[in-house]
Each structure stands twice: as structure tokens, then as C-alpha cells.
Amino acid sequence: MKESTKIYLIGIAVLSILLACIIVPRVLPKYNTDWIIGKSVDEVVDRYGEFVITRNTSESSKMRGYYIKEESSHDLFGGYIPEKYLVIYFDENEIAYMCEEEWGPN
């Protein structure tokens, strides 16, 4: 194999690795909802940090959440965009049983 071909292939490999390091974190979600289901509050906090919102949904369960996208006063047309949350519902034993995305504080 010619020296120029080797250099070309090495360049393509390096560029591919750099692109993967930039693109993959932006495509993959920050929160793994499949992992969260069945985990305790403490396990979720250990992995993702403290919740930004918490509220009771009934006497025996709580809803807690993380920001997915912070609020913005500008969209493409100059309108307001509310914050977006990953909302996690925990049962009376503080075990996660459901996750969903939600816009703005409810």
C-alpha cells in the first residue's frame, strides 16, 4: 500500500473518531428511562444528581423531575418556549414506575 494511501486512511479514521465524539453525545439522551424504571430515588439521584422539581401526586406517590431543555424567550418566530422536563413517578416505596417528558411547570 502506498504511503499516501496510508495517510489518507489514517486521516479518515481520525476524522471519524472526532465526529463520533461530537455527534454521539448530542444524539443520545442524557437520561436512560429504561434504566430508571424500577430504581429507587437514591439510585436515580446517585446517577443523575438532585431533582430540580418534586411534588406529591397522591398521598402515596411523588413526581420528581429533571430539566431536559431550559426555558427560552425566543423560538424561530420570537415566541416563548417553556422548559421541558423528564418527569419520573415514584410509588410509596420510592421506586420509579413511570417516566415521561412534560413541558413547563404543571
Three-state secondary structure readout of the chain: CCHHHHHHHHHHHHHHHHHHHHHHHHHCCCCCHHHHCCCEHHHHHHHHCCCCEEEECCCCCEEEEEEEECCECCCCCCCCECCEEEEEEECCCCEEEEEEEEECCC
Question: Grid coordinates in use for 63?
Answer: 413526581
- CATH of region 31-103, choose from 3.30.1450, 3.30.1050, 3.40.50, 3.40.1000: 3.30.1450
Contact 64, 40 (CB under 8 A): no
pLDDT at 98 over 70: yes
What does the pLDDT look like over 39-96, one tens digit per residue? 999 999 999 999 988 888 776 678 888 888 765 555 555 555 567 888 999 998 999 9
